[in-house]
Each structure stands twice: as C-alpha cells, then as structure tokens.
C-alpha cells in the first residue's frame, strides 16, 4: 500500500493522505472547490462553478498520479443543498467527463461541508 501526498497540493484539510494506492486501485480523498494554488481564496459562487472547480481539482489529483478522469471507477458526490443543486451539478459534472466512459456514482445530500462548500467529490480510480 502506498500513501500519496501530492506535490503542488496544499495539505489536506483533514488528517489524511491525498490518495492511497493498493492493488492497482487509487482511493482519492474528497475534493472540494478550493483553488489548489491559492487554498485560502474564497470558494466560487454557485453549484455549477463549484462543481467545475471540484472536477478540475479531481483531474489535477489524478494527473499528479499519472491518471486521468477516464480511469475513474466509482465516485461519491456530496451536496449540501441536494434538491436545489442536483440538476445543475449533474450538468457541470457530465461536462467534465468523457462520454461513454463514466464511472458509477452515488450522490448524497448532507447537512454541511468543509469551508461552507456546496459540493465534495471522493473517487476511486484504477490503473490500466
């Protein structure tokens, strides 16, 4: 098993690794819409912008591990305002992923997320 702290990423907001790899599977810690290059900057407004930023952060984490969004196997999406944001999140989420190769997904409504984020996404990828 290998624990990854990704270069160029700020420390996790929780006591955790950025990713853990075992048997070809890569488990990524939850990504949220902070600016990786300026982690203390305000989060973008609205679920569409926050979803796009979160998916970009996920893609960047995968790239740091030599992988891409096409290697995703499973995704969990957490929404702080599920009923309000579900449709707009789906549109931004779908736009970030390749057609025909999307991972399985579960979407869960929660009461709150770190730093007041509207969305957090955790994922599992698999090396080819």
Q: Which region, left, alpha or beta, applies to residue 42 given φ > 0 means left and ψ of -120 to 50 means alpha? A: beta
Domains, in order of start, for the chain? 2-126 (3.30.1330.40)
Does pTM top 0.85 for this prediction?
yes
Tokens 């290697």 belong to which residue? 71
Which of 55, 15, 52 is closest to 31 using CA atoms? Answer: 55
Structure confidence at residue 13 (pLDDT): 79
Residue-wise pLDDT for 48-100, tens only, equals 999 999 999 999 999 999 999 999 999 999 999 999 999 999 999 999 998 88
The region of weakest confidence among 11-15, 23-27, 93-97 is 11-15
| DSSP track, the chain | -EEE--TTPPPPSSSS-SEEEETTEEEEEEE-S--TTSTTSPPPSSHHHHHHHHHHHHHHHHHHTT--GGGEEEEEEEETTHHHHHHHHHHHHHHHS-TT-PPEEEEEE-S--GGG-SEEEEEEEE--
């Amino acid at each position: 098993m290998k624990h990854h702290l990704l270069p160029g990423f700020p420390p996790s907001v929780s006591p955790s690794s950025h990713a853990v790899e075992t048997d070809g599977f890569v488990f990524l810690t939850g990504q949220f819409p902070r600016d990786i290059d300026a982690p203390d900057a305000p989060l973008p407004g609205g679920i569409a912008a926050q979803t796009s930023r979160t998916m970009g952060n996920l893609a960047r984490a995968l790239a740091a591990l030599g992988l891409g969004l096409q290697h995703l196997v499973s995704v969990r999406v957490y929404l702080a305002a599920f009923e309000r944001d579900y449709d707009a999140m789906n549109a931004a989420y779908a736009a970030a992923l390749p057609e025909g190769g999307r991972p399985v997904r579960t979407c869960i409504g929660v009461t709150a997320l770190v730093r007041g984020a509207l969305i957090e996404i955790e994922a599992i990828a698999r090396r080819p």
